[in-house]
Structure 1
Amino acid sequence: MAESRKSVAEIKALPVGEKFSSIGVVLEIHEKKDKNGKSFWTLTIMDQTGAIDAKVWGNSQWWDYKEGVKSEIKDPASSSLVSNLKGSTIGVNGTVAEFKGKSQYNFSQVYLVDQEKEEYRPESFVQTAPIDPSELEERFDLLVEGCSGEIGDFLRFLFDKEGETWKQFRIMPAAVSHHHAYVHGLLEHSITVTELALSMAKAVQGPARPDQSTVVAGGLLHDLGKLEAYVLNPGPGMTVQGTVIDHIALGFSRFNRMADDFGLSVTAKTALGHILLSHHGHREFGSPVLPATPEALVVSAADELDFKLFCWSDSVSQLKGGDLPEDSISELNYSTQRRFWKWRPDQE
């Protein structure tokens, strides 16, 4: 398995037809049936450079490699070793194929490995934020310190560094896929959204100028529900509540409980609650209400902007940039329904 082993990021850069081997932790595994009733699997694996979705077809080989000797799993569809792989490290050999104009990754061999061995420990393959957590924490503290009045006091109450909310908030992902789907992803995304929203708020003049403390609190709290919607096990995953209730409703409910515990005024509670409920900006994107205050408008705009900028970065990460389409135009990004352009070759 160690021969020409590649990271997920390196695999994504390979051309169609190229073979590879890799190791990663299983985020998702689902057995399905083809038109002939034969089992195949969809797999998502992650390492510290990212995640990829792959297919394991019925003619692929599964190996129990836990003792360092290959022992073939003859009937993977009935094997508990295969059905319980979520959260475990595996080794794979595969090939880059093409399906509907997009790269598809097919694993021809899957190796089940000893999770206790240092080189295979699942937690060591989980992707983390590209920014040092201590830097993120400093930026978070600076934003909170700039808030005055009861809203500032409420943030310091809510994000008490010894409390469970902060301990969760600091490490949780912001998604399972699409954007910031890694350890510290929620912290990174929330800070960036808040910094963008605060910049917009400072640029607005006249009667529509937003209250800056409310903008900061709304930005930091807008995805509060993701503490209940997602888990790390050891990679990002969804809870039942996150799947059937969604983070917006979960966050609003959690915020209300904590606002009542603190004794937040009705006006402040309503203004912040409105931001949590409206931050997706459109009802078709999941917001129960539309942004109706200057503060809610800048937070929802910043949230959408950070999401799209992340998608741009992720989509063009393997491109050189420049004038040639093959060097500068990304594959279709399904989350944003567009191809992205990396027009500056020196852009990272």
Structure 2
Amino acid sequence: MAEIFINQLKSGQEVSATFALRVKKLMPLRNGTGYYLAVVLGDRTGQLEGRIWESVFETYHGCKVGDVVKVQGQATEYNGKLQIQISAMSVYQVNEIDPKRFIPSSALLLETAREKLFSILESLQEVHLKSLVSLVLSDEDFMNAFITAPAAKRNHHATIGGLLEHSLGIVCAAEGMVQVYPNLDRDLLITGALLHDLGKVEEYRFRTGIDFTDEGRLLGHIVLGVRLLDHYIGQLPGFPEDLRLKLTHMIVSHHGQYEWQSPKRPKFIEAAVLHHLDMIDAAVDMFKSAAESRDDPEDHWSGWIKGLDRYVFCK
């Protein structure tokens, strides 16, 4: 089957391709005599709506949201937007799914990122924090998850590798903050920045889209992160209790406000700086994505960005 992506489709084009099924809804016909099936299809380049008018119930019950579906039909324009008039849709049977076809990937170069991680390790002077980071980086299973995990389901860094990009972005910003404010504990801030979201490796799963794991939905990445931190520190005899407490607090408080699901607000300066850097890095990615996702690159304004609660000026 030819590799075709949503951003390549043009009105009038015949479509025979695979997509991820994001949404499916049975909708009543205007004349009240039956139903049609409204779907949303997606891949790494975006998503678009589709309509199925025949074999509606068979198609509806033959697939579920999250499936990879084989779609045949024609791209058409309706009310100024592209959609697919679907003549046939069925589950695409394949043994292995490449998530990179259906989920955007971070632009971060993996080899460059690995080099940065180990340069962070080498830069640490506090022996216990260096041992902790070394232990985490040597955990192959954790690192395989860390370098591919998304940082969110939507809004910011919702990409394969987004968690690594987000974490390194905060580390780089933290290094700059230490230059401006030398009273900061540099090693504590850098370690907290690198590990603040480590629970997200267990919070999210991704295949054709990003979703929560059961643990992620029931516990969330803050609780999962504290659990992982305790797991690693438990392997380091003699790890100072004050450092364990501070790192735990940095994970627990990095959302900053109770209404943002933060169990605690930051109670010391490095925790406060981490919270603000977390907010800044997320906002920068959302503004960047708003500009890149415009339907018309010449338009000075994005559409409404829910995560920012505003339109974004892109000129």
Under TM normalisation by the shorter chain, which class is it? 0.7 to 0.9
Q: Check if 1:333 corresponds to 2:294.
A: no
Residues 152 and 321 from structure 1, CA distance in 2 versus in 1: closer, same or farther, beyond 3 angstroms? farther
Residues 135 and 82 from structure 1, CA distance in 2 versus in 1: closer, same or farther, beyond 3 angstroms? same
Partner in structure 2 of residue 221 of structure 1: 195
The within-5 A match list for 1:1-348 is 7-9=5-7, 23=17, 25-26=19-20, 28-31=22-25, 38=35, 40-41=37-38, 43=40, 45-47=42-44, 49=45, 51-52=46-47, 54-57=48-51, 60-61=52-53, 75-77=58-60, 79=61, 81-83=62-64, 86-91=66-71, 93-94=74-75, 106-109=83-86, 111-112=89-90, 114-116=92-94, 122-123=98-99, 125-126=101-102, 127-148=104-125, 149-160=127-138, 162-205=139-182, 209-263=183-237, 264-318=239-293, 327-343=299-315
Deviation at residue 327 of structure 1 after TM alignment: 2.5
228-237 vs 246-255, which deviates more?
A: 228-237
What's the secondary structure of 2:40's corresponding residue?
Answer: strand
Q: Give structure 2 stretches of 5+ with no counterpart.
A: none
Q: 2-side partners of 1:26 and 1:227: how far apart?
A: 23
Percent identity (aligned): 21
Residues 44 and 271 from structure 1, CA distance in 2 versus in 1: closer, same or farther, beyond 3 angstroms? farther
Deviation at residue 27 of structure 1 after TM alignment: 6.5
Q: After superposition, what is the alpha-carbon deviation per residue over 1:267-286, rounded to whole angstroms, capped at 9, x for unaligned?
A: 11111111111111211111
Partner in structure 2 of residue 67 of structure 1: none
- One-letter amino acid of the structure 2 residue matched with residue 173 of structure 1: P
Q: 1-side partners of 2:155 and 2:227: how far apart?
A: 25
- One-letter amino acid of the structure 2 residue matched with residue 241 of structure 1: E
Residues 321 and 227 from structure 1, CA distance in 2 versus in 1: closer, same or farther, beyond 3 angstroms? same
Say what the alpha-carbon RMSD is for the aligned residues: 3.4
Q: 2-side partners of 1:260 and 1:104: how far apart?
A: 55
Q: Give structure 1 stretches of 5+ with no counterpart.
A: 63-71, 344-348
Q: 2-side partners of 1:304 and 1:294: how far apart?
A: 16
Q: After superposition, what is the alpha-carbon deviation per residue over 1:10-49, rounded to whole angstroms, capped at 9, x for unaligned?
A: 67xx9xxx677585542644546669795745535222x4
User: TM-score, normalization: structure 2?
Assistant: 0.82
User: TM-score, normalization: structure 1?
Assistant: 0.75
What's the secondary structure of 2:147's corresponding residue?
Answer: helix
Q: 2-side partners of 1:296 and 1:87: how far apart?
A: 41
